[in-house]
Structure 1
């Protein structure tokens, strides 16, 4: 890897860390994801900690978060006791479905509140109804995007 690619790699890893953090995930999870996407190789937890310059605890927590979201999986190599982690072949449609489900859950929470507001509180009910519809639209769009990714 030449110097320009190495610099781009570091920028990408950090950018993905910050993007996932903005979505409420751990920055370490984003950095791990960025590294696995950019390099495309299996890596051990100690290897990730060294490559990213972060603690083993942060790596382990990030790995657990990415596994729980079906982004990575554990793999083993013949004649090697080390556990490695690998990016799933195409986790992106599943991530969209997970985000869609979170949006649907948010819509339900808002809708439940809407249903408990007295009918004469028209303006409040309207605001809540719009907020619920907002989440429902996000969910619909994310589900459609997931289906499009599945078709590729």
Structure 2
């Protein structure tokens, strides 16, 4: 029992504190003694309050220029949606930025005809603050530009 206790007590001195790494075990001196070094402590990641967006030239797309566009014309201006939801003949295209969701509602002009943009809606993804359709669309377009 005494041998087991001595063996276990020899292991107790190598504890590594939380948040550090055990990659640096120490250095051997000229006399053969081990000179221990303090473990390297990992740094906490920097917290960013707002995501960094690349400085890309941006020209807003006025929402009033989009009404009446076909699905194909709309997609060529804004890009492909993240999700398309169908409600009968109506199609709802959803785009999202970090802060908001933008919905575009496409309705056929005549029964069985091609759909065109009739309505747009924007809302914050978290909380209940108000956001305009234009501001949300701008965020969506900027994010798409940054993603390439």
The answer to whether the superposition gives a TM-score over 0.5 is no
Rg larger in structure: 2
User: Which structure has greater strand proportion?
Assistant: 2
By percentage of residues, which structure has more helix? 1
TM-score (norm 1): 0.28
